[in-house]
């Protein structure tokens, strides 16, 4: 997982979205905002995916088939 882009703000935003998504049920407005953020940049999608994989590897979030 390479974060050499120097864009810590994107990494932090991805982590924030990931934590919000897994700590609570996102409202429809929040879900639309997340999808818009992901659609805005391939970097956003890549970093979000990297963050999600890191969390899965560390066991911090359940796999999608384990979520209620």
Q: Quick one: tokens of 5?
A: 């882009």
The verdict on residue 33 lying in a domain is yes
Global pTM value: 0.73
The verdict on residue 16 lying in a domain is no
**pLDDT tens column, 23-62:** 888 999 999 999 999 999 999 999 999 999 988 888 765 5
The count of domains in the chain is: 1
The verdict on residue 12 lying in a domain is no
Q: Quick one: tokens of 58?
A: 């560390």
Could you tell me the residue range of the domain that residue 54 belongs to?
28-62
3 has a pLDDT exceeding 60 = no
């Amino acid at each position: 997982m390479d974060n050499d882009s120097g864009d810590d703000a994107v990494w932090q935003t991805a982590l924030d979205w990931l934590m919000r998504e897994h700590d609570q049920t996102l409202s429809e407005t929040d879900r639309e905002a997340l999808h818009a953020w992901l659609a805005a940049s391939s970097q956003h999608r890549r970093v979000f995916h990297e963050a999600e994989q890191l969390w899965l590897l560390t066991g911090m979030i359940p796999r999608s088939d384990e979520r209620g």
